[in-house]
Amino acid sequence: MTNCGETAERQVQRGHYHSACVEVGAAVVLEEWAQECARLARARDGWEMCVHAIEKGLEGTTAKVDAGLTILTQGCTMHVQGCSRTHCM
């Protein structure tokens, strides 16, 4: 008597390979494949959310750096203009 829980290789070695076991094995493989596809889809969605969050964070950081550079540039310009008026140079 064969056991569908045995590996296909073992059943072939014993000469007890039934088509019912093949069908059960195929169903198991299809189920595992469906589970793996779902897992990969969840992983992809999670990855895309992380990338989107990083992009948003970089946009915010870039805006802050740009604003800081503008303020710094304005301050330097005012300082240079003030020095030239009072002959600091």
Q: What is the pLDDT of residues 40-65, one digit of tens each?
A: 999 999 999 999 999 999 998 998 88
Q: Is residue 36 part of a domain?
A: yes
Q: Is residue 60 part of a domain?
A: yes
CA dist., res. 28 & res. 37, Å (int): 14
Question: Residue 87, Cβ neighbours under 10 Å: how many?
Answer: 6
Q: Is residue 3 part of a domain?
A: no
Quote the pLDDT of residue 2: 46
Q: Is residue 67 part of a domain?
A: yes
Quote the pLDDT of residue 1: 45
- pTM to 2 decimal places: 0.47
CA dist., res. 30 & res. 35, Å (int): 9
- At residue 6 the predicted structure's pLDDT band, cuts being 50, 70 and 90, is low
Nearest-CA neighbor of 18 among 5, 29, 28? 5
Within 8 A by CB and 6+ apart from 23, the residues are none
- Mean per-residue pLDDT over the chain, rounded: 77
Tell me the C-alpha to C-alpha distance, in Å, between residue 36 and each of 23, 26, 39, 42, 50.
20, 15, 5, 10, 21
Q: Does residue 38 surpass a pLDDT of 90?
A: yes
Parent domain of 66: 8-86
Q: Is residue 46 part of a domain?
A: yes
The total of structural domains in the chain comes to 1
